[in-house]
Structure 1
Amino acid sequence: MGTTGECVDVSVEEVGQWAEITALALVTTRIKAVSQEKPFVARLRTMPLGASQMSELSYSALVSQRTPRLIRQSDPELFQLVVINSGRQRIEQARNTGVIGSGQMVLYDSSRPFDAFAEESPVGTRAGGVMFQFPKSMLCFPARRLDRLLAVPMTARRGPGRLVAQFLTAAAAEYRACTPSDALRLGTTAVDLVSTVLAHHLDRMSDVLVDSRKRALYLRVTSFVQEHLGDPALTVDRIAAAHHMSVRSLHRLFQQHGNSVRAWLRDQRLERCRRDLADPLQRHLSASAIAARWGYPRPADFNRAFRARYGVTPGAYRNRTHHETAAGISRPAAKP
């Protein structure tokens, strides 16, 4: 069986490196080590699941902060659900404050400032757990309804919370044995389970049931697009025809998730190109070859779209990321 080939495992011993790595793979935060006497050690393992991502993290005691300025500079508009396996974390976000320990989970919003303090377990085990992050647009109810759940401890030991924790733990353990198509399906399942947990805590199970059909269709469409990104002939008309729906209905479906079909398709292709350009193992491929792989047969179109999206040319981005790698900064997987 083929593997996904995108699982990245990074260990660091400097808090500065940890800040740079998590900025690339998760969200940008300010990070400080708590102890100046004990060595700082951290590890991140990232596992892409289509538009979502699963990560295993462990780290020495630290303080992290996401400020309004950092949000203005970069906001991927994600939710992050973290299942805590060891240590304890104190989190403040959206005027909520929670202390979350082993066997609990907590929700973050990348668009809202937060302060977090993580401490190791009493026996010295590093703090950490499993994180699942996904675009807000994948939820079947408005993101603003989750404000009262941010930074609030939720159990991972019973009910829907236990199912989510068990699923994420098992999926992380078996990720290397999964194909890219498996990973897409795992991401869809994870979003469904997380939505169920959040709806459970919001007492909004009816929303999940009412919107499940539309949500299932949206996930089928986005999975189809993910699997055919390299086909330059993939158009809005073809996507609609493949799902036996009108173009107007397809546009309406994406609008309900805060996006347009063409913009979502473009962003997915550019993100795959960006990830490959930053990969040292693909240095032998030209930027135009990578672009063609992901549906950009004309280099000029790709260069223009890449620069508009990321602010630099593909060549400049590749040179910068490879220079960072050569300087000792390991690059984790990019966000979807």
Structure 2
Amino acid sequence: MALGHEQLYAGYLGEDVDASLEAEDAIRIRIHDDHGELLSSSWRLGCIDFCLFQAQAGVDVTPYRPHRTLHGFSVGLCVAGSVTVAQDGRRAELEPGDFTFYGIERPFQISAEDNHDFLVMRVPLYRIGLEPGAMDALKALKISSSTVSASILASTLTTIAAHQRDLSTSAQLHYADALCSMVQAVVAEAQPDDVNTQHLTLFNRMARWIEDRIRDENLTSERVAAAHHVSPRHVRAIFASNGTQVSTFVKERRLELARRDLSNPDLSHLSISQIAQQHGFCEPSIFSRGFRLQYGDTPSGYRKSNTRLLNNNASSTPTGPVLVNR
């Protein structure tokens, strides 16, 4: 039996993530067979990052180092073969169609004894409306298609993994929103009612209140607090527990909606400044600077690249994880 070999990977979750061992997604992979092949492809739909690993051998995967800063959580879906995910003393033994949640802020292990396909989806916490502690009961918990919500999410992820390159840029953004809602539904069904009420309801109510008024001026903690009969300090604490702030949440959602419009060929007649103004950015320079910081490109550059992709009837080329030399 071959002794296998070990590799270090980083940069497989996120278009602009630092591909070094300091990256949040840096992992250590031990491939059981010296001749075993590990293939991967990465892509992004809106705010959600994906990586599909296809291994012609058994593997053991651990984080290079856990990160205390929690920006999101991962959904691990077994597409083919059998995969085990372990964290915090629990083990989820997954068969095709099964999935589980796990976090990067604590040690975890992903293992398989033989050939397998495993899809990883990283979701930002702020898009789901969860406090970090609300995920503890679901980590390394096997979720099968026994519930309607889980079945819908698993089948959608499987389809996206097979056909994500065929999705137009505009469709990708819509699917990102839909996937966030599907994850919310799965979490709501998997947790007791009292946990749902405690961890989901208030933040979701506030986030949806903001979404309904996303083009309004002065969406501040004070306005959110007044609308929900709580103190501004309490509002700031709730958003902080979800890894964001009211101002940051508003800006990121406006930028995401503006990015969707910039990639929509039906809105090509609108200028960039018109789209920016429609989403609450009165100063073009502020919009351009914020867009570049969030997406790594200027609004004009992003629009041109997406127009070129649509004209070529192709989406972004998937990339794989970066092998990091120790």
Say yes or no: TM over 0.5: yes
Matching residue of 1:57: 52
Task: For residue 261 of structure 1, report the CA deviation from its aligned partner.
Answer: 0.9
Aligned pair partner of 1:162 in 127, 151, 157? 151
Task: For residue 57 of structure 1, report the CA deviation from its aligned partner.
Answer: 1.3
Aligned pair partner of 2:174 in 178, 182, 189? 182
SS of residue in 2 equivalent to 1:117 = strand
Q: Which moved more, 1:135-144 or 1:78-87?
A: 135-144
The answer to whether the 8 Å contact 2:81/2:96 transfers is yes
Deviations 1:58-99 (A, max 9, x none): 32144322244x515xx4521212221212223332233343
Distance change >3 Å, CA 239–CA 88, structure 1 → 2: farther
Instruction: Determine the C-alpha separation between the residues in 2 that align with 1:133 and 1:28.
Output: 10
Question: What's the TM-score once normalised by structure 2's chain length?
Answer: 0.59
SS of residue in 1 equivalent to 2:12 = helix
The answer to whether the 8 Å contact 1:29/1:65 transfers is no
Task: For residue 186 of structure 1, report the CA deviation from its aligned partner.
Answer: 0.8
Q: Tell me, which stretches of 5 or more residues in structure 2 are unaligned?
A: 1-6, 18-23, 260-272, 302-316, 321-326
Matching of residue 103 in structure 1 with residue 128 in structure 2 = no
Task: For residue 193 of structure 1, report the CA deviation from its aligned partner.
Answer: 1.5
Matching residue of 1:217: 205
Matching of residue 29 in structure 1 with residue 26 in structure 2 = yes
Aligned pair partner of 1:256 in 228, 238, 253? 238
Instruction: Determine the C-alpha separation between the residues in 2 that align with 1:205 and 1:32.
Output: 38
Matching residue of 1:133: 122
Distance change >3 Å, CA 155–CA 57, structure 1 → 2: same
Instruction: Determine the C-alpha separation between the residues in 2 that align with 1:99 and 1:166.
Output: 18
The structure with the greater share of residues assigned to helix is 1
Instruction: Determine the C-alpha separation between the residues in 1 that align with 2:26 and 2:72.
Output: 14
Matching of residue 198 in structure 1 with residue 195 in structure 2 = no
The answer to whether the 8 Å contact 1:138/1:191 transfers is no
Distance change >3 Å, CA 64–CA 174, structure 1 → 2: closer
Instruction: Determine the C-alpha separation between the residues in 2 that align with 1:157 and 1:25.
Output: 37
Instruction: Determine the C-alpha separation between the residues in 1 that align with 2:182 and 2:118.
Output: 20
SS of residue in 1 equivalent to 2:38 = coil
Distance change >3 Å, CA 197–CA 169, structure 1 → 2: farther
The answer to whether the 8 Å contact 2:130/2:203 transfers is no
Deviations 1:157-212 (A, max 9, x none): 4554324323444566787265477346414422321222431xxxx124436776
Matching residue of 2:106: 112
Matching residue of 1:71: 67
Distance change >3 Å, CA 91–CA 273, structure 1 → 2: same
Question: What's the TM-score once normalised by structure 1's chain length?
Answer: 0.57
SS of residue in 2 equivalent to 1:166 = helix
Task: For residue 128 of structure 1, report the CA deviation from its aligned partner.
Answer: 1.8
Deviations 1:265-320 (A, max 9, x none): 4566789999xxxxxxxxxxxxxx9xx7994947599879989x99xx999xx9xx
Distance change >3 Å, CA 195–CA 252, structure 1 → 2: same
Q: Tell me, which stretches of 5 or more residues in structure 1 are unaligned?
A: 1-14, 275-288, 319-328
Return the letter of the residue paired with 1:260: Q
Q: Tell me the number of residue pairs that the alignment of Structure 1 and Structure 2 aligns.
A: 271
SS of residue in 2 equivalent to 1:190 = helix
RMSD: 5.1
| 1:136-151 equivalences in 2 (<5 Å) | 136-137=125-126, 142-151=131-140
Return the letter of the residue paired with 1:262: S
Instruction: Determine the C-alpha separation between the residues in 2 that align with 1:305 and 1:25.
Output: 14
